């Protein structure tokens, strides 16, 4: 089912100061389509969990409406909402076996034993939990426990699945694996889902669309590609991966609406931008480190910058550089495949350039 948040705000009383307020969520408008998985990404305290709790009914919005399909659910108690939460602490019952844990919700609904058995077996096979029916939770690995928790939520076929940093207790390797697992299962059941995380890689892997939040506000909603390559503002650009903001000036507006901007000593024609700019406007050219090309040598007229390598970090598949340009601006660059391409050392003088197709303009 689709889920719609209309002008949702949540204002708490500050527990430490009687007449102060904490604005946890402010004017959030969002529609999540049937079968879609959307993640909420943002720094600690930006309102991710609070928004989830309002959807699940554990918190009431101060203003606004929450719609599940064609029903406004603001006044519906949590147990009637047909949403299920998956937390970072798996919350599986330690005294029940794996099978009993997964069957629990169905039995509670009074479903007949043979139907429960069939449904539980089916979901266990989908989740790669077959043969673990009689295990007790303390005999499972972290990843298996997480899958049991997920199976327990999904077996009830909720209309909406809500994940609150479900993988943060797992080690890096297992986390990588479980991301794909969660995505696979969500897609195979087509369950409308919200996935809260402050890990950008995780958000990119599991989501159809990402909602970037900051201080209770939505900063941008878009596909992982849109968010990374066309950030709507400085916060989003900065929060998702490493980025360079190059001071630029609009010199001319081309017929097709793209901008000729002066960056350093050169001009680039850039056709991706947020907002409408005029000739003479100071703007920022956003360019990712991996979109820069770096070549060693004397100052080249064709390049955008000439600078000195300050720092070289060799990471195997990639090499990261800090390059000081004109003794003032620090540029981050990344190159690939150093075994073949080689790499530069601190002190090397290099030319930096980029393909304008990879750049994006922001207002200052």
Closest CB to ligand ATP among 12 and 133? 12
Contact set with ligand ATP (CB under 6 A): 12, 15, 22, 24, 42, 44-50, 198
Sheet containing 259-263: which strands, arranged edge to edge?
Answer: 266-270, 259-263, 244-253, 282-287, 360-363
State the nearest-atom distance from the C-beta of 66 to ligand ATP, in Å: 16
State yes or no: residue 49 binds Mg ion (CB under 5 A). Answer: yes
Name which of 241, 224, 268 is nearest 361 in CA terms.
Answer: 268
State yes or no: residue 56 binds Mg ion (CB under 5 A). Answer: no
Closest CB to ligand ATP among 47 and 307? 47
Closest CB to ligand ATP among 12 and 67? 12
358 token code pair: 């990879």
Burial grade of 340 (CB within 10 A; 0-12, 13-18, 19 or more):
exposed
Find the part of the chain contacting Mg ion (CB under 5 A) among 9-17, 44-52, 145-153, 352-360.
44-52
State the nearest-atom distance from the C-beta of 50 to Mg ion, in Å: 8
State the nearest-atom distance from the C-beta of 185 to ligand ATP, in Å: 23
Supply φ then ψ for residue 329, to 5 degrees.
-90, 135
Residue 24 interacting partner from Mg ion, ligand ATP, none (CB closer than 5 to 8 Å by kind): ligand ATP
Closest CB to ligand ATP among 195 and 354? 195
Using DSSP's 3-state secondary structure scheme, residue 125 falls into helix
Using DSSP's 3-state secondary structure scheme, residue 251 falls into strand
The secondary structure of residue 234, as a DSSP letter, is: H
The secondary structure of residue 119, as a DSSP letter, is: H
Q: Are 143 and 178 in contact (CB under 8 A)?
A: yes
Residue 248 interacting partner from ligand ATP, Mg ion, none (CB closer than 5 to 8 Å by kind): none
Footprint of Mg ion (CB under 5 A)? 49
């Amino acid at each position: 089912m689709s889920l719609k948040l209309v002008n949702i705000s949540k204002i708490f009383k500050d527990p430490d100061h009687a007449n102060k307020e904490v604005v946890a969520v402010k004017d959030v408008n969002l529609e999540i389509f049937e079968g879609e998985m959307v993640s909420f990404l943002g720094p600690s305290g930006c309102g991710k969990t609070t928004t989830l709790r309002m959807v699940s009914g554990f918190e009431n919005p101060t203003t606004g409406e929450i719609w599940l399909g064609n029903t406004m659910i603001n006044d519906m108690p949590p147990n009637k909402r047909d949403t299920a939460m998956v937390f970072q602490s798996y919350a599986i019952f330690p005294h029940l076996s794996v099978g009993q844990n997964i069957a629990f919700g169905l039995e509670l609904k009074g479903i007949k034993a043979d139907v429960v058995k069939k449904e539980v077996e089916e979901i266990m096979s989908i989740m790669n939990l077959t043969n673990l029916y009689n295990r007790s939770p303390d005999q499972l690995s972290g990843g298996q426990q997480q899958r049991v928790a997920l199976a327990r939520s999904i077996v009830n076929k909720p209309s909406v699945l809500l994940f609150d940093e479900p993988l943060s207790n797992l080690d890096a390797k297992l986390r990588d694996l479980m991301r794909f697992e969660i995505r696979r299962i969500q897609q195979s059941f087509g369950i409308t889902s919200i996935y809260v995380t402050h890990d950008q890689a995780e958000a990119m892997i599991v989501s159809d669309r990402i909602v970037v939040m900051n201080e209770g506000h939505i900063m941008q909603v878009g596909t992982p590609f849109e968010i990374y390559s066309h950030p709507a503002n400085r916060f989003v650009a900065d929060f998702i991966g490493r980025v360079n903001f190059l001071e630029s000036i609009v010199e001319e507006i081309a017929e097709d609406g793209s901008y000729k901007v002066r960056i350093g000593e050169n001009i680039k024609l850039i056709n991706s931008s947020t907002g409408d700019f005029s000739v003479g406007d100071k703007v920022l050219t956003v360019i990712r480190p991996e979109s820069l090309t770096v070549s060693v040598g004397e100052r080249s007229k064709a390049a955008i910058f000439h600078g000195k390598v300050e720092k070289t970090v060799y990471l195997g598949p990639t090499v990261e550089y800090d390059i000081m340009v004109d003794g003032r601006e620090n540029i981050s660059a990344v190159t690939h495949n150093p075994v073949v391409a080689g790499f530069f050392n601190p002190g090397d003088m290099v030319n930096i350039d980029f393909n304008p197709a990879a750049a994006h303009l922001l207002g200052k």
